Amino acid sequence: MSALTGRMNTLLLVVVIIIGLAIIAMLATGARGGPLDPPSAPAPTDGVRDAGTPISSLPFTISAPGRYYVTRDLTSAATNQNGVTIAASDVT
């Protein structure tokens, strides 16, 4: 009976060690995330050189096909004036 008790104790010790290692592995690989809210509004992209023509002031008339992009928040001073007029086809 003593040999059986020794084997049972050894088996119990192995099971406890395996369970302990599994718990440590789960705790070590737990995902921890940071805040999801962005820190602030996006900054103007005046310094970014993108492919295409930058639009940085109003009024602006697009008269040729191509790619155009806005570099900052734009407002028109005149109330009866268009901001961006597109007078061409194939404009992105």
CB 69 within 8 A of CB 91: no
The kind and range of the H/E element at 54 are: strand 53-55
Report the pLDDT averaged over residues 73-81: 69
pTM: 0.45
Burial of 44-75, coded b for 16+ CB within 10 Å and e otherwise, reads: eeeeeeeeeebbeebebeeeeeeebeeeeeee
Q: What pLDDT score was predicted for residue 79?
A: 62
Q: What pLDDT score was predicted for residue 62?
A: 92
Between residues 66 and 31, which one has the greater pLDDT? 66
Per-residue pLDDT tens digits for 36-64: 777 777 776 666 666 888 888 888 899 99
Per-residue pLDDT tens digits for 3-36: 778 888 899 999 999 999 988 888 877 667 777 7
